[in-house]
Chain A
Amino acid sequence: MELSKIKREQISNRQLIFIIIHNAVGTGFLSLPRSLAEVAQRDSWLPVIISGILWSGGFFLIYKLAIKFPNDTLVGYSDKIVGPYLGKIISLSYILYATLVTGLIARISMTVLASVNLPDTPIPVTLSLFLFTGFYLVSQGTKALARLDEFLFFGLTPLFLVLAPMAFNVDWINFRPMFQSEPLEIIEATYLTMYSFLAVDIMFIIFPFVEEQKKALKSSLIGLFIVTLTYLFITVLVVGFYGIEAIQYITWPTLSILKALNVPFFGRLEFFFFFLWIAIAFTSFAPYFYISSYGLADLFNFKHQNYSSFILLPIIAFVAFFPKNLLEIFSFMELIATVGLALTFGIPLLFLTIIKLRGLD
């Protein structure tokens, strides 16, 4: 990547934290407690912590790899490590994966929107507005993304703290007795939780723009810690509130729990939070758009990411329309998240080994 561009779009380490948080906390936030409770039953909090720890390993690997090429994205250093042909294939598959995730997150968000808020508006219409907003953000570059995430974090978090008093309603009996699940169940649940944390891979693309790269690991781990904490809080709250039996019949338990919020005079406060959730879904969707757009621009040496965004928009829209219903969306998501897991752990492991073997240090 060109040095002038890196300099122009530099982001601070603090902004990296917020990007990671917003990227990870998105759509998974709504359905995670249900899928956890289905598999891990009373130990549903445990997989969250385990996947937090596992992901920090992912961060460590990517950091180790990226720090060796401070001015390159994945596209740049995969060329250097495995040669132009294989390198391009790896980068392209990563970009493709990011594009698929972009489309699916957009689709999930719009499906939730349709089921909660706008039942009569066709999904393609709402989706095109969503995609346009994403396109606009990506066209404004890394700085705009970082600043938006930073602002929204400080703007939205205090509002979501109103959920905190609901912790009194948690029935702890739903978590006792502890450690009763089979190890296999825990592993499966961990695997499920890992999807919701998918955000680590943004480090492949955003790393060259980080101001103090040596401290990037620390910042990303702080981000991961906050993400883990958020998911832990939500899981405990929602599972504890509904109980493991009832929760399995609720599609979006995190949204439903807001209905229990009762403030005099203001009728249905959960809708208010739902609007804020649109912003959260957007900030988890936009970084993937950013990844695919910047990755493609880097791969083909486009001057501006707008060109690659233009190419990607129809693909993303196609991906978003592809699944027919919610079940298909979830199964696609599982498939793609598995690919994502393989890529985020596989690429750095493979590359680091090759570097060792070829002595590229």
Chain B
Amino acid sequence: MWDKIKDFFKSNNFINRLDLEAEEKVSSNLEANIDYLKDNLAPSSDLVFRSFHIGQKKEIDAEIIYFNELINADILQKEVLRSLMFDLELDCSNRTIKKEINDTLINSTIPIGELETTQSLTKALEQLLSGDVILFIEGIPKTFILGIKELEKREVQTPQIEAVTRGPQESFIEPLSTNISLIRRRIKDNNLMIDIKQIGERTKTDLAIIYIDDIVDQDIIKKVRDRLESIEIDGVLEIGYINQSFRDNWASPFPQFQTTERPDKALANLLEGKVVLLLDGSPFASIMPTTFIQFLQSPEDYYDHFYIASLLRLFRVAATFITISLPAIYISLVSFHHELLPRELALSLATAREGVPFPSVLEAFIMEISLEFLREAGIRLPGPIGQTIGIVGGLILGEAAVDAGLVSPPMVIVVALTAIASFVIPSYSATIPLRLLRFSMMLLAAVFSTYGLMIGWLLILIHLCSLESLGVPYFAPFAPIKLTDLKDSFIKFPLKFMGKRPESTPTQQKKRQPDKE
């Protein structure tokens, strides 16, 4: 009974969907094949059925089917149709015609690199949907799939979000093939593995799992594959969909996987035994597993001198601290603990706050929220107008608010400093949870002052300690402490000392270079 109900729902829900389990074979009858396709495809206007005759004697019927916006029409006419219609000479009285057509077509008639045959109609249909041309010939129980896709794409551009002063200026773009070429071009390793899978019940988007086979830990790869299998979704539009359904802890505000638009960063992570996911249509690669400290590292660090890199990284750690807690510290000092401040500073703060009508908490909230507004507005508006927002919002509004006595100048300094600090962090996706946490810290500080601050930090630390990314501790190398990994964490040692891959991510080869005998 239960099974019947299940079947009923199944048949109703998926009535228009391809049932991939039951494979339809290509029949030798041309009409039957075309009827199958017509039955299973919505009658779209961009779907073309073109029937013609093969060979100079025009005796054999054939049909090509394609979506005319997805293919290169030029190649189709000049290379495929012309050669089939005019160049092919066939003796049709011969009984071995089937074999001959098969061989000749593949070997000598159609000058196209991507040409394969299949006996499965289901596969042919899939390929047709993904932009290939399929060809049926009367009397042959096979389909020819011609790969002459032509998709619109933009040029490879300089990275927008992860801009660096020094380092490669290329970034990923939407088509998967271009992105794979950007990676493959940089690493000529025979163990580089690119495994393309389709994901999304309807969109059937290509997803490439990229890793270096003899470095990556097999458990991690298995976890990636298992989680991919478990994704149930009808459409995947951006790599963020994959990241969200992959997470170890769905409730955490922290990003558990890194996304990057830089091929060099993706490659560096591949070399450290990580897995890179690329999704067709998304200009971001997803790197997994990820540790928290990676969000404070920029590719430049590795290209620059290690003193500078270490200093910058320390600044970024400080910036993280400031982004989360500076307004909260200010609130707790001003409204609870004047005695903690040095006398002169306390006096000047008190003078500055004279006449401000709001308690410091409210003041901080007003300023922080308007700053977040400014930031959002700046992103949405086109470039030239975005600058106006900066001037109107930042300069005029801030100045006027201070002049009107609504907020105190130290508060403006605190808010501005916090905003600047949040821009210091190289990864945009990492600043989002920090901004979120800042507001909760402000609330805690407003109620519990410095005790609230300490508890807030403890909660954040506990959360960071408990997080894992694909089974790798998120807060490594600090907790658990990995001494060798500390060399490349909040400081950076010279390249000479980095002979080993990071320990926090398990790998097959611990050393980057095998010992030279």
Contact = CB atoms under 8 A, between A and B. Distances in A.
Question: Is the pairing of A and B real?
Answer: yes
A192 B186 CA distance: 67
Contacts of B342: 265-267
Interface in A256-298: 265-268, 271-272, 275-276, 278-279, 282
Interface in A185-239: none
A15 B449 contact: no
B385 interface: no
B465 interface: yes
A115 to B, nearest CB: 13
A132 B453 CA distance: 15
B448 A147 contact: no
A140 interface: yes
B458 A267 contact: no
Given A129-B452, A279-B454, A151 B475 contact: yes
Contact of A141 (B336, B341, B449, B466): B466
A79 interface: no
B60 interface: no
Contact of B461 (A129, A151, A278): A151
A144 B461 CA distance: 9
B454 to A, nearest CB: 4
A140 B459 CA distance: 11
Contacts of B341: 267
B451 A113 contact: yes
A148 interface: yes
Interface stretch (B233-241, B350-358, B376-384, B477-485): B477-485
Nearest to B476: A147
B106 to A, nearest CB: 54
A117 B337 CA distance: 9
19 contacts: A15-B480, A118-B336, A129-B455, A133-B458, A141-B466, A143-B465, A143-B466, A148-B458, A150-B480, A150-B481, A152-B461, A154-B481, A271-B340, A275-B450, A275-B451, A275-B453, A275-B454, A278-B454, A282-B455
Contacts of A338: none
Interface in B326-376: 336-337, 339-343
Given A133-B458, A282-B458, A118 B479 contact: no
Nearest to A137: B462
Nearest to A12: B480
Contacts of A276: 454
Interface in B161-180: none
B473 interface: yes
B498 to A, nearest CB: 21
B459 A136 contact: yes
Contacts of B475: 147, 151
Interface of A: 12, 14-15, 113, 117-118, 121, 126, 129-130, 133, 136-137, 140-141, 143-144, 146-148, 150-152, 154, 265-268, 271-272, 275-276, 278-279, 282
Given A144-B462, A152-B461, A278-B451, 15 more contacts: A12-B480, A15-B480, A117-B449, A117-B450, A133-B455, A136-B459, A140-B466, A143-B473, A150-B481, A151-B481, A265-B342, A267-B339, A275-B453, A278-B454, A279-B458
Contacts of A151: 461, 465, 475, 478-479, 481
B343 A267 contact: yes
Given A140-B466, A268-B339, A121 B450 contact: no
Given A147-B475, A148-B479, A268-B339, A129 B462 contact: no
Closest 3 CB pairs of A and B: A147-B479, A140-B466, A151-B479
Contact of A136 (B449, B450, B462): B462
B473 A147 contact: yes
Contacts of A144: 462, 465-466
Nearest to A117: B451
A133 B462 CA distance: 9
Contact of A150 (B452, B454, B457, B479): B479
Contact of A271 (B450, B461, B478): B450
Contacts of A136: 459, 462-463
Interface in B418-474: 448-455, 457-459, 461-463, 465-466, 473
A136 B463 CA distance: 9
Contacts of A271: 337, 339-340, 450
Contacts of A268: 339-340
Given A15-B480, A267-B342, A268-B339, A148 B452 contact: no
A265 B340 CA distance: 11
A276 B480 CA distance: 21
A154 to B, nearest CB: 6
Contacts of A146: 480
A282 B452 CA distance: 13
Nearest to A113: B451
A147 B340 contact: no
B507 to A, nearest CB: 19
Given A118-B451, A266-B342, A133 B480 contact: no
Given A136-B459, A279-B458, A147 B480 contact: yes
